[in-house]
Structures are given as structure tokens and as C-alpha cells.
Structure 1
Amino acid sequence: MAITFDLFGTLVDAEYPDSPSSAVADELSELGVSVPDDWDDAYREVHIDAPDGAEVPLPAHVAAALRSRGATSPDNAARRAVVNAFDPEVTTRPGAVDAVKTARECGSVGLLSNCSVPELVSRTLIRSDLGRRDFDDITTSVACGWRKPHEQAFEASARGLGVAPSDVTHVGDDPATDGGIEALGGQFVNLRETTLDAFAARIRRGDGPCP
């Protein structure tokens, strides 16, 4: 038995740039990269042909967008620009710490997050009231290569926890993505219908999801 949590919008709120393309362009310029005049268009275009459900790391997308306009990003500039551009202020959501702590009464606890930005999940945890030590496994789409609701994202998380996907209860705020666990026989706790505090209270009362 294991419980996994989504991160953004579930355990934490994070402030992102109002214009991601502009934020990345500013960081590229700081690194000496010549940003194309039509960068906003290039940023919005699809440059990497990936399978349905696969995650395209944002640095790879940015580097491809630059190449499409005849520009380059030497010395890993695309990755550095993306990491610097997505450097959010983080607020831990009410009930998050207690819910993660209480989930341990059921078994292993994991984090499963859709995130195309390298290092963002670890940075977010550092700035929250949670930490790496609070989870037995952390799986991100940028690391495993698949985004929820694709089955392979949930399977990767389950493998990291040493359980079958059908033995996982996943807690999240987006039924369209987080609810994908149900296709594998697991349970979904929809935070649009309940709260983290209520979820923790259910565990303490013994009426789910613990066996």
C-alpha cells in the first residue's frame, strides 16, 4: 500500500512568470544568447515530435526553438535559462504537512509531479514546509519521461515505491491528470471534492485509504 501526492496545486502553490517566453528570453539574453525577434512565436511552436503523453523537457524545447531560427544556446544555456526563469515563490497549502505525515500510517509515501523544468520540484520543496525526507520516492515527468495521466507516469512512481499501481492511492487537484491512477486499478482522492485536512482525518478514523 502506498499514497502518492501531486505537488503543484495540491501540496504547494507556486508563482510562475506571467509570460514564460519573455522570462526565458530575458535569461537567455543574460547568458549572451541572441534571442530571435519572433521569439514568442518560436516558443509557442512545437519543435520536438514526442509520443502522446511523453514529457518534452523545457530546456530541450527552448534549444530546439532557438535552432529553428538559426540561433544556438552554447554551454547548456537553454537549461540554465529555463531553471533561472522558473524560480518561484512557494507557499505550502493548508493541511499539506499533516496529510503527508499522516499518510505514513498507510505505508510508503511518494510524490508524483508533472513538471517539464529540471530542478523545479527540488527547489520548490526546499522553499516549502515539506522536504525530500518526507517522501520515499519522488517521480517527476521530466525525469521519467511521461506526464500524468499516462500510465507510465504512475507505473514509474509505483516502481519507485516498490508497489503495484493498483495498490496506490494518488492525491491531487486535477481529475484529468491525477485521476489517471484509476485506469491502473488505484484510487484517486480528488481535492476538488475534499481537502487535505479531511483526507488526513479519514486515515485517522480508519475509513480509508489504509487497508
Structure 2
Amino acid sequence: MVVSFDLFGTLVAADRPDEPWAAVADSLTERGVPVPDDWEAAYRRSHREYDRGQEAPLDEHVRLALASRDITVTAVTAREAVLAAFDGSVARRDGARAALTAAAERGPVAVCSNCSVPGLVERTLARTELGRGADVVVTSVGCGWRKPHPDIFEATAAALDAPLSTLVHVGDDARTDGGAGRAGARSVLIDDVPLPAVATRLREGRL
């Protein structure tokens, strides 16, 4: 058995801006990028077609939204602006570190997270000091597919060098994290097994 954990809502609680377009606008302005008067409309509109289940990187979306208003921004600036806009306060959830430690006693451990902001998962793990508990980090923006798409779970199992059938994925969302079960792995939801109990069940072989 190998184990993967969802991040946001499972291992950590994180603040997210209520108006993301406004947070991104402030971040762009701080970097000297002009923001159009109708930025909210540009931000809310889709500027590229994606396959069902495919991740839409937010930094790419921001560049395309600006380009639709004849404003050019570099990829680096867009990435930095988006990361800063979403890098809010974050805290470890009760039982997170113990669960990672117990999973590591059984084998390789992954964090498997839906996140459209490049670098945000890695920064969050570093800020909460949980990064050392995971052998690999698989993100939707990194692999290109969002949970519950089977490809992100297959990528996670491959990163752990294990068959998908041996993967147990722990998460908080029945629709997204529950996709592990439909993909051929097994999902454990913290509504059914609270995170503080995950470590105990792992050590007892009951997860």
C-alpha cells in the first residue's frame, strides 16, 4: 500500500481571496502591470478551450485575459503575480503531521492536489513544514489534469512507483478525492475517517 493526501481542506486550512480577480489585479498593479477597467469581466471569461478534466493554469489564464485587452505581460510576471495573490494565511490541520508520518512508515507518500496556481502547493507545504513528510508532490497544474480525472491518480501512483490498485488517497471532497476509487485506487474521506484517526488506522493496518 502507498498513500497520497489531498492538501487544501485535508492537510491544511488556507484562506483564499473572496474576489480572486481583485487580488490578482492588486498583485499585477504592484508589479507595474496596467489593469483594464473591465478586469473582472476579462478575468471571469474563458480565453481558451480545455478538454474536460484538464487543468487551466491560472497564470496562463491571466496572461490571456490581459492579452484580450491588448496588455502584454511576461510569463514570469504573471506567475509571480498569481502566486502572490493566492499565497494567503495557511495552517496545518490537526493530525496532518502524524498522518504523514504514519503513512511514511508504510511506504512512499505523495501529496496529490488540485491547484491551478504554479508553485502554491510547494510553498504551502514549506510554510506549514509538511513538505518533508511527502516523497513526491503531484499537482493538477503540474500534471495537467484535475481530480477526479483518472490521469492525476495514475500520475500519482506512477510517481510513487506503485500500481494504481495499491494507492490509498486521503481527502476531504467526495466528488474530487472520491475519484480515486473510480479510477481504480481507493479513497478515504476525512468525513468518514477524521484526519487525527488516519495515523492510528495506518499503524493498525485498518485504513
TM-score band, normalised by shorter chain: over 0.9
Give the SS at the match of 1:22: helix
Give the match for residue 153 of structure 1.
152
Give the match for residue 130 of structure 1.
130
Give the match for residue 162 of structure 2.
163
Give the match for residue 28 of structure 1.
28
Paired AA for residue 39 in structure 1:
W
Paired AA for residue 42 in structure 2:
A
Residues 166, 185 of structure 1: 8 Å contact kept: yes
How many residues are aligned here? 207
Give the SS at the match of 1:4: strand
Alpha-carbon offset, residue 102 of structure 1 = 0.6
Residues 88, 124 of structure 1: 8 Å contact kept: no
Alpha-carbon offset, residue 106 of structure 1 = 2.2
Residues in 2 aligned to 1:206 and 1:139: alpha-carbon distance in whole angstroms: 25
Give the match for residue 198 of structure 2.
199
Matches within 5 A, 1:101-120: 101-120=101-120
Paired AA for residue 142 in structure 1:
V
Give the SS at the match of 2:106: coil
Given the superposition, is the C-alpha separation of residues 75 and 148 from structure 1 closer, same or farther in structure 2, using an over 3 Å criterion? closer
Give the match for residue 51 of structure 1.
51
More displaced stretch, 82-91 vs 166-175 = 82-91
RMSD: 1.2
Alpha-carbon offset, residue 34 of structure 1 = 1.4
**What does the per-residue CA deviation read over 1:178-208, in whole Å, with 9 as the maximum and x for residues that have no partner?**
0111123211111122211222211222323
Given the superposition, is the C-alpha separation of residues 63 and 10 from structure 1 closer, same or farther in structure 2, using an over 3 Å criterion? same
Calculate the TM-score normalised by the size of structure 1. Answer: 0.94
Structure 1 portions without partners, runs of 5+: none
Calculate the TM-score normalised by the size of structure 2. Answer: 0.96
Residues in 2 aligned to 1:202 and 1:75: alpha-carbon distance in whole angstroms: 44
Structure 1 residue 13 corresponds to structure 2 residue 13: yes
Aligned-pair identity in percent equals: 51
Alpha-carbon offset, residue 75 of structure 1 = 6.4
Structure 2 portions without partners, runs of 5+: none
Residues in 1 aligned to 2:42 and 2:206: alpha-carbon distance in whole angstroms: 51
Matches within 5 A, 1:61-72: 61-72=61-72
Residues 108, 161 of structure 1: 8 Å contact kept: yes
Alpha-carbon offset, residue 173 of structure 1 = 0.1
Residues in 1 aligned to 2:206 and 2:180: alpha-carbon distance in whole angstroms: 20
Residues in 2 aligned to 1:75 and 1:58: alpha-carbon distance in whole angstroms: 11
